[in-house]
């Protein structure tokens, strides 16, 4: 099974992708995680991508396409995968079509999570990230001791530079002007599922699995 999860930044794509990958036994491919790791390690790609990401802009298609081609040919993707953060442009979608034809995988399912812009802005500006394990939590969910609920690290929560309100608004603008076109591109090419991403995590997961016909 190959799945592309799609929607505004902060709508919950990463959270749902991790849950679905675990439940379905497939690989979770997060371009955001790949880029952040490259930036942290200061690789050649990371150095090029750092300034672009922090401005809320999209990393060039040829760079992302090369990353995805390498990852999808790895052994962990043999039984299926869920793509989180790619494709974000029509050119990336065309690159992905080429990759899919090369790996000769099964048909594609596109999951689109919807939410109002105002909900997204509020959600992202109120979230913090654990610098140790990458766990994302809202300020209201973090306990008084600032202990991560996943790795139990203390005082490890930070705010990502790309979670700044102005950067978020720019990312949302880019999404509406560029990325939203990708969904229309796939309407005739893949099974499409649209979900209200403003619902609770459990409700969204249950609805996705139901529409995927998975118990």
Looking at residues 115-132, what average pLDDT do you find? 89
Max mean pLDDT among 17-21, 56-60, 188-192 falls in: 17-21
Whether residue 45 contacts residue 38, with contact meaning beta carbons closer than 8 Å, is answered with yes
Looking at residues 82-90, what average pLDDT do you find? 91
Looking at residues 115-137, what average pLDDT do you find? 88
Question: By mean pLDDT, which of 24-33, 46-55, 121-130, 147-156 is the weakest?
Answer: 46-55
Q: What is the pLDDT of residue 108?
A: 87
Alpha carbons 29 and 21: distance in angstroms, whole number:
9
| Residue with tokens 């499409």, as numbered in its chain | 192
Pairing relation of β-strands 2-7 and 108-114? parallel
Report pLDDT digits (tens) over 154-174: 888 888 877 888 888 988 998
Q: What is the pLDDT of residue 202?
A: 94
Predicted confidence (pLDDT) at residue 58 exceeds the cutoff of 80: no
Task: Name the maximum alpha-carbon separation found in the chain.
Answer: 51
Pairing relation of β-strands 108-114 and 191-196? parallel
Confidence band of 186 (pLDDT split at 50, 70, 90): confident
What percentage of the chain carries pLDDT values higher than 90?
A: 34
Question: CATH for 2-115+166-211?
Answer: 3.40.50.300
Report how far Cα 53 is from the mean position of its chain's Cα atoms: 14
Q: What is the pLDDT of residue 143?
A: 67
Looking at residues 109-114, what average pLDDT do you find? 93
- Which residues are marked as active site? 13, 88, 127, 160, 171
Q: What is the pLDDT of residue 111?
A: 94
Q: What is the pLDDT of residue 116?
A: 94
């Amino acid at each position: 099974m190959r799945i592309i999860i799609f929607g505004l930044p902060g709508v919950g794509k990463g959270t749902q992708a991790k849950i679905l990958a675990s439940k379905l036994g497939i690989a979770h491919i997060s371009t955001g995680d790949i880029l952040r790791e490259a930036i942290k390690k200061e690789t050649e790609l990371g150095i090029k991508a750092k300034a672009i990401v922090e401005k809320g802009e999209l990393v060039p298609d040829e760079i992302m396409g090369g990353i995805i081609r390498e990852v999808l040919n790895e052994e962990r993707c043999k039984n299926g995968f869920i793509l989180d953060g790619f494709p974000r442009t029509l050119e990336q979608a065309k690159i992905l079509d080429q990759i899919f034809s090369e790996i000769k995988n099964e048909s594609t399912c596109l999951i689109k999570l919807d939410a109002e812009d105002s909900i997204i802005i509020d959600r992202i500006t109120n979230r913090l990230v654990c610098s140790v394990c990458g766990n994302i939590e809202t300020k209201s969910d973090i306990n008084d001791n600032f202990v991560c609920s996943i790795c139990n690290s203390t005082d490890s929560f930070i705010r990502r530079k790309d979670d700044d309100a102005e950067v978020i608004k720019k990312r949302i603008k880019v999404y509406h002007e560029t990325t939203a076109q990708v969904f229309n591109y796939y309407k005739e090419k893949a099974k499409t599922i649209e979900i209200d991403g403003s619902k609770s995590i459990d409700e969204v997961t249950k609805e996705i699995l139901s529409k995927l016909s998975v118990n």
